[in-house]
A and B are shown apart, each in its own frame.
Chain A
Amino acid sequence: MATDWRPTASIETLRERARLLAEVRGFFAARGVLEVETPVLGHGGSTDVHLASLSLAATTPAGRERLWLQTSPEFHMKRLLAAGSGPIFQLARSFRDGEVGGRHNIEFTMLEWYRPGFSLDALIEETVALIRQVLGQKSGGEAGSLRRRRYRELFREALELDPFGVELGELRRLAGQRGGLDMGDAARDDCLDLLMSLVIEPTLGREGIDVVVDYPASQAALARRHRDPEDGEWVASRFEVYLAGLELANGYDELTDADEQRERFAEDNAARRQLGLPEVDVDRRLLAALEHGMPAGSGVALGIDRLIQLALGKTSVAEVMAFATPNC
Chain B
Amino acid sequence: MASYSTNEFKGGLKVMLDGDPCAIVENEFVKPGKGQAFNRVKLRNLITGRVWERTFKSGESLEGADVVDLEMEYLYTDGDMWHFMKTDGSFEQYAVEKKALGDTAKWLKEQVVYTVTLWNDNAISVTPPNFIELEVVETDPGLKGDTAQGGSKPATLSSGAVVRVPLFINQGEVLKVDTRSGEYVSRA
Contact = CB atoms under 8 A, between A and B. Distances in A.
Nearest to B35: A193
Contact of A180 (B27, B33, B34, B53): B53
B55 A219 contact: no
Contact of B34 (A48, A102, A103): A48
Interface string B18-33: 0000000001111111
A235 to B, nearest CB: 15
User: Main SS of chain A's interface residues?
Assistant: mixed
Contacts of B55: 179-181, 194, 198
B33 A240 contact: yes
Contacts of A103: 29
A221 interface: yes
Contacts, number: 67
A184 to B, nearest CB: 12
Q: Which of B33, B38, B40, B53 is packed against the most chain A CB atoms within 10 Å?
A: B33
Interface string B33-48: 1111110100000000
A193 B36 contact: yes
B11 to A, nearest CB: 13
Interface residues of A, number: 27
Nearest to B30: A197
B6 to A, nearest CB: 9
Given A50-B37, A99-B37, A197 B28 contact: no
A196 interface: yes
Nearest to A181: B55
Interface string A186-200: 000110111011100
Contacts of B56: 181
B51 to A, nearest CB: 13
B152 interface: no
B59 to A, nearest CB: 8
A104 B35 contact: no
B58 interface: yes
Given A98-B7, A104-B29, A50 B34 contact: yes
Given A48-B34, A98-B37, A181 B54 contact: yes
B32 A99 contact: no
A98 B38 CA distance: 11
Contacts of A53: none
Contacts of A197: 30-32, 35, 38
B164 interface: no
A32 interface: no
Interface in A79-94: none
B121 to A, nearest CB: 29
Interface of B: 7, 27-38, 40, 52-58
Nearest first, the 7 A-B pairs at minimum CB distance are A101-B29, A193-B35, A179-B55, A190-B36, A250-B33, A180-B54, A193-B36
Given A181-B55, A193-B35, 11 more contacts: A50-B37, A98-B37, A103-B29, A180-B53, A190-B57, A194-B55, A197-B32, A198-B30, A198-B55, A221-B34, A247-B33
